[in-house]
Structure 1
Amino acid sequence: MTAQTDSMVLLHLLLGSLMLPPLNYLLLALTGWLLQRRRPRLGRSLMLIAGLSAYLLSLPVTAMWLNSWLERYPPLSLAQARTAQAIVVLGGGVKPAPEYAANVLTGAANQRLQYAAWLARQTGLPILVSGGAPLGGEPEAVVMARVLQQSYGLSVRWQEGASRTTLENARYSQALLAKDGIQRVALVTQAWHMPRALPFFTAQGLQVLPASTGYSRYDGQGLVHWLPNGTAIQECHQALRELVGMLYYTIRQQLGS
């Protein structure tokens, strides 16, 4: 299968790489190293800042603190969920799996789909899966529908496989739902993603119940939360990426574009 990356998506990925860890503090450390001879104090300071940033952004305590700015919506109760007319679950990424000779969902997407399947079984609501192929290849919606059928024995009613961004998720999903008179939905996405996703859906005239999943939580306490680990690195990166994304859309809205 030939993958063809959308130019807009490629630009966003490039800008994100420059602004976010690990590349931003690697560039900071490189700048400090290059300045050592001409400006030794400044050079050492920049390298120290880069090292400290790398440490802090690998800690569970930092991951939970950053995500606390994003996880604004509490878990959805079943009583609330049953007032919806449909469940909308947003794609969170796919990747090739040679052992299956097919694409599978990433960790974030699996969390969303698992929760959507649980909600569907508890409420009997129909499911819409939303996600295109921003990096080329098979649309996320197709993969999600396949996983729901094969792993959970559930069929989706609607597949939205053209969107490249969260904004397009909202626009294209609403167009599908409107054909069946659906106005009130339970929106399933990561807790850190909900503050950005929900306004896009409400702007389309939908009544949205936030069905957040994937909250940033860690076992243990005290010193354990100050020990670096790979999961914390990933969660810090994702939280910073989302905060930058929210800032981008805020500026874009202010400029009226």
Structure 2
Amino acid sequence: MGFILKKVISAFLMPFSIGLLLLFLGLWFLYRQSYKKAKVFLTVSFIWLFLIGYAPISNSLIEPLETAYPPLTLNSYAHIDAKYILLLGGDFNGRAYEAIRLFHHLHGTKIITSGYAAPGLDIPEAILNANKLVSIGIPKKDILIQSKPRDTREEAQNIKRLIGNEPFILVTSAYHMPRAMSIFLKEGLHPIPAPTEVPMSGNSPQLLSVPNGDAISNTRKAFHEYLGLCWNMLKNWTSSVI
């Protein structure tokens, strides 16, 4: 129940949802002929939707997340002592390449796939991703499947039961890495961050860029991560007080 409630609340706190709510209130007051309030809410909704789709603003929100951990390089492989590569669910196409690259360079490792059967899926994401890895040449014996965890915290708890305190390589999107690392470290685990989809430097958009869907997507990702970080801080604080 708590998991579902968290998902519902976070959906309403997403930037586009907030913009639609402001727009709805503006139209509500407009049809009720409360023109002054309608003007306020319609103006605020327009400004809000413009801002969340404005690339310089969306980039300023997501950049601190994406640059918190540097990507692993070939030179750093010699210093890695880990037998497991945890491929977090959520974006196989964006994350799998790094897990495969690590698997081929670090001999004797195993890839752990994770992810439950979300609404609309008959098969858990962990199994789907494992099948994809097998189809591109990863031996089935070198893949461990964790199909029960529904979020990052449950993934951390499950990994702790599976490998204990052994170090492992954590593969996830760069913007998600700060929250994932905080959760895994809180569980007493020893993750080695391997962020994927790391943005290229020097590609900052011009100030005169036009609002677009990609910027809205980046703003949504940033909101989701910052809300998650705040939620974790709140849970940690309440547990320490109690």
| Structure-1 residue corresponding to 2:160 | 174
Shift of 1:214: 1.8
The equivalent position to 1:153 in structure 2, one of 118, 129, 138, is 138
Question: For 1:78 and 1:201, how far apart are their aligned partners in 2?
Answer: 24
Question: For 1:14 and 1:116, how far apart are their aligned partners in 2?
Answer: 31
| Structure-2 residue corresponding to 1:84 | 81
CA RMSD of superposed structures (Å): 2.5
Question: For 1:196 and 1:233, how far apart are their aligned partners in 2?
Answer: 20
The equivalent position to 2:23 in structure 1, one of 14, 25, 29, is 29
Question: For 2:199 and 2:209, how far apart are their aligned partners in 1?
Answer: 15
The normalised TM-score by structure 2 is 0.84
Q: How many residues align structurally?
A: 233
Contact in 2 for aligned 1:198/1:210 (Cα 8 Å): yes
More helix by share: 2
Q: Say if 2:62 is the partner of 1:67.
A: yes
Question: For 2:228 and 2:118, how far apart are their aligned partners in 1?
Answer: 16
Cα distance, 1:139–1:8 mapped onto 2, change above 3 Å: farther
Contact in 1 for aligned 2:71/2:198 (Cα 8 Å): no
Question: For 2:232 and 2:203, how far apart are their aligned partners in 1?
Answer: 36
Q: Which residue identity lines up with residue 91 of structure 1 in the other structure?
A: G
Question: For 2:135 and 2:184, how far apart are their aligned partners in 1?
Answer: 29
Question: For 1:152 and 1:212, how far apart are their aligned partners in 2?
Answer: 22
The normalised TM-score by structure 1 is 0.80
Aligned-pair identity (%):
26
Deviations 1:165-200 (A, max 9, x none): 10110111121123xxx6111100111111111122
Q: Which residue identity lines up with residue 234 of structure 2 in the other structure?
A: I
After superposing on structure 2, the runs of 4+ consecutive aligned residues of structure 1 that deviate more than 4 Å are: 36-39, 216-222
The equivalent position to 1:183 in structure 2, one of 163, 166, 171, is 166
Contact in 2 for aligned 1:158/1:176 (Cα 8 Å): no
Cα distance, 1:59–1:206 mapped onto 2, change above 3 Å: same
Shift of 1:80: 3.2
Q: Which residue identity lines up with residue 69 of structure 1 in the other structure?
A: P
| Structure-2 residue corresponding to 1:165 | 151
Q: Which residue identity lines up with residue 138 of structure 2 in the other structure?
A: G
Shift of 1:160: 1.1
